[in-house]
Homo-oligomer: A and B are copies of this chain.
Amino acid sequence: MGRIICAGLGPGDPDLISVRADRAIRGAGHVAYFRKKGRQGQARRIVDGMLAADVVEYPMEYPVTTEIPFDSPEYNRLLAAFYDDWAARLAALAASCDVVVLCEGDPFFYGSFMHLYTRLKDRVTMDVIPGITGMTGCWNATGAPITWGDDVLSVLMGTLPEEDLVAHMRGADALVVMKTGRNLPKVRRALARAGRLDAAWLVERGTMPGQRITRLAEVEDHDCPYFAIVLVHGQGRRPELAEAAE
């Protein structure tokens, strides 16, 4: 009997993969990863040059991404069938060998792998290897700590209604907004209404080639990059001598 090993890949730089996940990836005979149809996929790109020459690859291509609304019954039906199908295929494969599933960031933090995990955990031996989250890579890329002292950090999805975004942006000290993309104009409006826009940064392709860090207020509304996270740094308690603060 084999196992399904999910390797958290971290934020994008292959040098930020954990020692354990690095070992699993380089030693893999079978690797599976999610991607949009017709694309190489970000997970596969991260491990370029790390895979064994004779590895067998299983690209798991989403049947739909943003073509239909994510909260429609049709989207739900298509995605559920997709995860059911791949869960069955990976379980069959794991009957005879180990399979490594590649996952960007950390597998248990808003990841697609979780949908396979819940379907498989009671019938296959699973080993999930944590990864550095994308947001951690992004706040490190800004060169400034995200939280100090008692700061409250809230992680928000750009898909939330604008009113909800505003309320959470007002209530927390430090902010991370993911799933920005086409939601970026709404995220900007919400930050402005919460009085936080001037402190917001847009990090694109954090830790990866082509990384770009911009003040969100200076980004054009039609500029909606995909691998982008919005950050507002906390400004909490820190010990400073009176003379040092001058």
Please determine whether B19 and A16 come into contact, CB atoms closer than 8 angstroms: yes
Q: Is A201 an interface residue (CB 8 A)?
A: no
The digit string for A46-78, where 1 denotes a CB below 8 A from any CB of B, is 000000000000000000000000110001110
Report yes or no: B168 in contact with A160, Cβ–Cβ below 8 A: no
Q: How far is the CA of A47 from the CA of B131 in the complex (A)?
A: 19
Contact in complex: A239, B159 (CB < 8 Å) = no
A23 CB to closest chain B CB, in angstroms? 8
A14 cross-chain contacts in B, Cβ below 8 A: 19
Cross-chain contact B108 with A238 (CB below 8 angstroms): no
Interface residues on A, range: 35 or more
A114-158 Cβ-contact flags toward B at 8 Å (1 or 0): 110111010000001111110011011001111111111111110
- B130 near A130: Cβ-Cβ < 8 Å: no
The answer to whether B150 touches A157 (Cβ under 8 A) is yes
Apart from A71-B237, A151-B157: 9 A-B pairs, beta carbons within 8 A: A70-B237, A76-B239, A77-B239, A77-B241, A108-B136, A109-B146, A114-B145, A130-B140, A150-B157
A-B contacts, 11 of them at CB < 8 A, read A16-B20, A17-B18, A77-B239, A109-B136, A128-B140, A130-B136, A151-B157, A152-B156, A153-B155, A154-B154, A154-B172
Closest 3 CB pairs of A and B: A79-B239, A80-B239, A153-B155
